[in-house]
Every structure is written in structure tokens, then in C-alpha cells.
């Protein structure tokens, strides 16, 4: 099991993504890793990612969930074929839909942890569920449907 982040294994596509691109200096630059059948990312908000005083912005939470989960879908597709990410032929998934439930305010002064897993693979679609934690507290849950584009 490699410890290189999923986002550091893609070749060109997505390396500038605002949510997860490794080369976007204005972006969130999340790093996601496999841990067994789950993917995990830990990320430290900056003070300007605030919603109201003390709480992480819901749109930033949606961005974290979207990018972590879509990276999970893409990585799972390679894994299902027994291949390393980035090997030919390339596989690409984009988000078709996203839903997020905000369970409680997420503190902005501590790191958040995202945990995702594949719920279902059917045809060109992969459904991924994801939860966001602050410490041991689950603050948000989400689900995406990722769609294969090539």
C-alpha cells in the first residue's frame, strides 16, 4: 500500500483543482490516502475559511467532501482493475451530484478528518459516502455520485 497521496499520483488532469490540486497555491490542497477500504484526509482550515465566528464555512466543507470522495471514486476504479493510479489507459471521474448534511458547526481552529468509502459501483457511476470529523465528533456527512468521463 503506497503512502503517496492520491492527489500526488494523478498525472496532469486535476493538478490545478481548487479543492485538491497539488499545484493550486490558492486552493485547499487536500491529500487523501487509502486506509484499508477507506480513504482518509486530514486538513487544517485557515482562519479565512470561516462561515460565522468559530465555524468552518459550509461551502468549504462541501468542497472537501466533493474532492475527497471523487478522488476516492477514481482511485477505486484503478484498484478494481488491479492497476496503479496514472497507468494507461487513464481513468477519469467527475462529480455528477453531491449532497451534504451539516450536523453541527465544525470548529475552524482544529484539523478536520474526512473518511470515505465506496458504497456502490454500477456501470459508469460510483457512489461514495463521506463523513467529516472534528476530533471524534462527526460534524457533516455527504455522498457523491461520480461519473466516468473517459
The smaller minimum CB distance to its own copies, of residues 66 and 126, is found at: 66
The smaller minimum CB distance to its own copies, of residues 64 and 91, is found at: 64
Residue 97, interface with its own copies (CB under 8 A)? yes
Residue 136: CB atoms within 10 Å: 6
3-state secondary structure of 50: strand
3-state secondary structure of 29: coil
Residue 59, interface with its own copies (CB under 8 A)? yes
Residue 96, interface with its own copies (CB under 8 A)? yes
Enumerate the H helices of 2-148 as residue ranges: 58-80
Kindly state the cell numbers that stand for 74. 477514481
Asked whether 103 and 55 are in contact (CB, 8 A), the reply is no
Report the distance separating Cα 119 and Cα 73, nearest Å.
10
Candidate list 31, 79, 90, 94; residue touching its own copies; CB under 8 A = 94
Residue 58, interface with its own copies (CB under 8 A)? yes
Residue 73, interface with its own copies (CB under 8 A)? no
Query: HSE (CB half, 13 Å, CA atoms) of 61?
Result: 28
The smaller minimum CB distance to its own copies, of residues 17 and 118, is found at: 17
CB of 14 to its own copies, least distance (A): 5
Candidate list 37, 52, 82, 136; residue touching its own copies; CB under 8 A = 52
**Quick one: which of 72, 57, 41, 47 has its CA closest to 102?**
57
Give the footprint of its own copies on this chain (CB under 8 A). 13-14, 16-19, 21, 24-28, 46, 48-53, 57-60, 62-64, 66-67, 70, 94-102
Amino acid at each position: 500500500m503506497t503512502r503517496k497521496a492520491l492527489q500526488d499520483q494523478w498525472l496532469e488532469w486535476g493538478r490545478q483543482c481548487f479543492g485538491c490540486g497539488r499545484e493550486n497555491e490558492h486552493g485547499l490542497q487536500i491529500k487523501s490516502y487509502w486506509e484499508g477500504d477507506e480513504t482518509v484526509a486530514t486538513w487544517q482550515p485557515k482562519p479565512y475559511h470561516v462561515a460565522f465566528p468559530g465555524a468552518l464555512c459550509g461551502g468549504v466543507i462541501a468542497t472537501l467532501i466533493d474532492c475527497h470522495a471523487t478522488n476516492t471514486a477514481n482511485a477505486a476504479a484503478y484498484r478494481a482493475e488491479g492497476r496503479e493510479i496514472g497507468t494507461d489507459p487513464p481513468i477519469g471521474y467527475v462529480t455528477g451530484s453531491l449532497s451534504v448534511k451539516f450536523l453541527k458547526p465544525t470548529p475552524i481552529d482544529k484539523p478536520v478528518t474526512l473518511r470515505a468509502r465506496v458504497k456502490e459501483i454500477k456501470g459508469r457511476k460510483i457512489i461514495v459516502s463521506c463523513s467529516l470529523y472534528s476530533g471524534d465528533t462527526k460534524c457533516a456527512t455527504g455522498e457523491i455520485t461520480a461519473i466516468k468521463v473517459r
